[in-house]
Amino acid sequence: MEGKHYINGEWSTEGDGVIDVRNPATGELFGTVPNGGEAEATKAIEAAEAAFPEWSKTTAYHRAELLMKWHDLLLENKQEVAEILTKEMGKPLAEAIGEIEYSASFISWYAEEGKRVYGHTIPASKDSKRIQIIKQPVGVVVSITPWNFPAAMMARKMAPALAAGCTFVAKPAKLTPLTAVKIYELAEQAGFPKGVINLVTGSAGKIGKVFTSHPAVRKLTFTGSTEIGKELMKQSSETMLNLSLELGGHAPIIVLDDADIDSAVKGVMASKFRNAGQTCVCGNRIYVQESIVDEFSRKLQEAAGKLKVGNGLDEGVEIGPLVDKDGYEKVEKHVQDAVGKGAKVLVGGDGQTANEAYFYNPTILLNANPDMLVMNEETFGPVAPIMSFKTDEEAVKLANDTRFGLAAYFFTESMSRGTYIAENLDYGIVGWNDGLPSAAQAPFGGMKESGIGREGGQEGLEAFLETKYISIQL
């Protein structure tokens, strides 16, 4: 598949050669995209700048019609888009189809929500004055997205930005740009006017510099690592960019002794092993109350041992390859470090590598402790370390002992214990007996070093709006 930039309504291949896109399940070349840089990023931003005045004045009803055409096209073509996604990213096809449906859910939700951008009026302290507050689109938006959800991360940014009346420039991840190209082809068919949506592939550093320094850009929305998020925040200080940053996580899962153990195992499996553990909200460390550790870990071991590892395009595969060699080596390092510090491998603990494809087997570790890397750094792989705890207060303290604050999960049947835990976890997203809390209508985002702002829900639309206060002297 040959990908291209989409700038000002035209497909192009400018740049410094091409970037190869490989299938992580086979190591084979799947396609290429142009290696764009400053010139292409600048052109795209200027196209978005030129398109903004007209687009921002269209009605929310008109924008919703275009968004819904795009939504329908995405669902009609979901098999094809999902196959591209699996071939460049590796996740099982069923999960890729789920990701396309999830992406479409953002588009339809924001098509509707864009019609509900309410302002308000406030009683003034003098009879001769009126105070009016209106909401307006922030302007040209640039977006940088990661490889682990090549479709959903873009849709979650693009749909609310377009619904709000902003124009948009996207830079997809180097490892997974072809899903974005296909989604843009469908958006073009839906009929967005030229310059409203733009796509630039290529050098992250060069494109990122233009994104954060061009005076026409008003908003950067980024999903990726905390490290790059901090770098972009520094760069953005020059133009005082409005920022939404959805960064790394290190999700704790707490299982209390009154939990329904079978449903807790199901929830942990969903949270931990989806996308082979390569999501920022994946459970990274599991705290289990001491009286149920044996039963819980035996059941989790049984479930993890049944997962089928392989090429995501093959029938029944539930765990695809890790995205690349670096990802694999990090997982290996976390497991070796844990074993060296006293963890017991209940299942897994190894992988298979051949022809530049890196598969790691679902792994459960028992007797984890806070000194282990896996209990502190994002593993981004199918590894679940279990540590026991005694009291609810201790569990909350352990869970909060991190610089991250994206997602946390806990399992209990008790209303009062659950309320205590939910209210005391320092996390933006909390799943109570729920391993999969993400939804288009709910705000998603982190506290602490997991980021700034929320995506999804009403907050996700607000992120692309400015508040204007109009004071009227009669």
CB count within 10 Å of CB 13 equals 17
The window from 105-113, 201-209, 364-372, 383-391 that contacts ligand ADP (CB under 6 A) reads 201-209
For position 38 contacting ligand ADP by CB under 6 A, the verdict is: no
- Size of the chain, expressed as the number of residues it contains: 474
280 is catalytic: yes
Binding residue for ligand ADP, selected from 15, 137, 165, 208, defined by CB under 6 A: 208
Q: Confirm if 155 and 106 have CB atoms less than 8 A apart.
A: yes
Q: Confirm if 59 and 293 have CB atoms less than 8 A apart.
A: no
Least Å from the CB of residue 323 to ligand ADP: 8
For position 213 contacting ligand ADP by CB under 6 A, the verdict is: no
Distances (CA, A) of 461 to 72, 101, 107, 157, 328: 21, 20, 12, 9, 36
For residue 132, what is the enclosing H or E element? strand 129-137
Nearer to ligand ADP by Cβ, of 37 and 456: the residue is 37
Binding residue for ligand ADP, selected from 107, 228, 282, 387, defined by CB under 6 A: 228
Binding residue for ligand ADP, selected from 55, 147, 296, 358, defined by CB under 6 A: 147
The window from 143-151, 181-189, 366-374, 439-447 that contacts ligand ADP (CB under 6 A) reads 143-151
Rounded CA separation 384/372 (Å): 12
Nearer to ligand ADP by Cβ, of 88 and 113: the residue is 88
For position 204 contacting ligand ADP by CB under 6 A, the verdict is: yes
Nearer to ligand ADP by Cβ, of 173 and 395: the residue is 173
DSSP E strands in 266-377: the ranges are 283-289, 344-347, 351-354, 357-360, 363-366
Rounded CA separation 364/371 (Å): 17
Binding residue for ligand ADP, selected from 191, 205, 215, 340, defined by CB under 6 A: 205
Cα of first residue to Cα of last residue in the chain, in angstroms, is 62
For position 456 contacting ligand ADP by CB under 6 A, the verdict is: no
Nearer to ligand ADP by Cβ, of 167 and 176: the residue is 176
Least Å from the CB of residue 225 to ligand ADP: 3
Question: Strands across the sheet with 242-246, in order?
Answer: 10-12, 5-7, 197-199, 167-171, 140-144, 217-223, 242-246, 451-452
For position 231 contacting ligand ADP by CB under 6 A, the verdict is: yes
Least Å from the CB of residue 356 to ligand ADP: 18
282 is catalytic: no
CA-based angle 183:185:187, to the nearest 5?
Answer: 70
For position 144 contacting ligand ADP by CB under 6 A, the verdict is: yes
Using CB positions, name the residue nearest to ligand ADP.
208
Rounded CA separation 427/252 (Å): 10
Exposure letters 156-174 (e unless 16+ CB within 10 A, then b)? bbbbbbbbbbbbbbbbbbb
Nearer to ligand ADP by Cβ, of 111 and 173: the residue is 173
The set of catalytic residues is 246, 280
**Interacting residues with ligand ADP (CB under 6 A):** 144-147, 173-174, 204-205, 208, 224-225, 228, 231-232
